[in-house]
Amino acid sequence: MKSRRRDVNVTGTILLIILIMIIMFPFYIMLVGAFKPNPSLIAFPIDLNPFKNLTMKNITKVFEKSDLIRWLVNSFIVSIGVAVLTVIIALTAGYSFSRMDFPGKNILFALVMATLMMPKQVLLIPNFLVANSLGLVDTLIGVILTTIAPAFGIFLCRQFTGSLPRELFDAAEIDGCGELAKFVRIAVPLSLPSMGTVLIFSFFSTFNDYLWQLVMISDKKNMTLPIGVTLFSQLNASNKALQLAIALLATIPLAILFIALQKFFIKGATAGAVKG
């Protein structure tokens, strides 16, 4: 089917491979540098040979000197919390917008779209002050509640639940299902794929969010991975090997998760943009 356009652009492909190599370069540095003794990373010339002079010392030292596991656990708690709450909010609101009529619907949906266009960072200070007055600062539950940004999910769920066949809902109504039963018994089970997409996207974006967690968290026991890694690399500014080791360890869990869930990314990214 595609055969007509199969002529590959050779120059373009070479440039593309160079681009991918540039993108991969920091990962290569992490992967090799994490296993090098520090002196060979500040020496002249820098030794990045992946086959010689390797050591496990950096890795074991990172686990000794940092709370890496705790940061990871905190990041998972926060990200899962945000993702689950986002899915609940997105599906209920999306369902309401797509399958029900009520006064003020257009205005409310315009507000959803407005929050999609205006990311939460522009409200950094007032959001922090509100969180502070509610006693949410420096607690994991506070980070969860204040991170939720369901606009994209609402948009997605509205489109998806809107595309479900009407007959299903009519039939359920004839069988005596109320509004709640229709939602729980029909909309929820049929929307599992888009719920998965929303779940995964909000999980990853929360996991890698930096600014809001930086503002909210100061207690060491509440630190998440991005904050902990930054702190650790500042405390060990002169030890490049140790920094690269923690960078590598911070990258691996999400990289594995990403590769396992790749299909969702390819579907989810296009959900908002390409529609019929």
Partner 1 sequence: MKAGWAYIFLIPWLAVFCVFYLYPLFYGIICSFTNSSLNKMEWIGLDNYKKLIGDYAFWTSLKSTLLYCLICIPLNVFLPLWVANTLHPHGRKMNIASKLLIYLPGVTCAAALVIGWKFVFASNTGLLTQILSRMGFEHISFLDKASTAIPIVSLMVVLCNMGTNLIIYCAAIDSLPETYFEAAEMDGASKRDQFWKITFPLLNATIVYVFITATIGALQIFVFPQLMTAGGPNYTTSTLLMLVYDKAFSNNQFGYASAIGVVLFLITAAVALIQFKVVSKDKIEY
Q: What is the CA radius of gyration of the chain?
A: 24
Measured from the CB atom, the residue of 39 and 165 that comes closer to partner 1 is 39
CB of 10 to partner 1, least distance (A): 10
**Do residues 67 and 223 touch, judged by C-beta distance below 8 A?**
yes
Query: 219: burial class by Cβ within 10 Å (0-12, 13-18, 19+)?
Result: exposed
- Judged by beta carbon, residue 20 or residue 56, the one nearer partner 1 is 20
Minimum CB separation from partner 1 for residue 108, in Å? 7
Q: How far is the CB of 74 from partner 1 (least distance, A)?
A: 13
> Which candidate, 22, 62, 49, places its Cα nearest to that of 240?
62
Helix (H) or strand (E) holding 190: helix 188-190
Q: Using the minimum distance from each CB to partner 1, give the nearer residue, 145 or 190.
A: 145
Query: Which residue, 108 or 192, has its beta carbon nearer to partner 1?
Result: 108
Min. distance of Cβ 191 from partner 1 in angstroms? 13
CB atoms within 10 A of CB 78: 26
Query: Shortest gap between Cβ of 267 and partner 1 (angstroms)?
Result: 9
* Residues 72, 74, 77: CA angle, nearest 5 degrees: 110
Of 16 and 56, CB closest to partner 1? 16
Cα–Cα separations (whole angstroms), residue 267 to 197, 248, 249, 263: 8, 28, 28, 6
For tokens 């609101």, what's the residue? 93
CA–CA separation, 80 vs 67, rounded Å? 20
We find the least distance from the C-beta atom of residue 221 to partner 1, in angstroms, to be 19
Give min distance, CB of 246 to partner 1, in A. 8
Nearer residue to partner 1 within complex by CB, 55 or 271: 271
Enter the tokens of residue 166: 């009407």
Residues with Cβ < 8 Å from 187, sequence gap 6 or more?
91, 95, 99, 161, 164
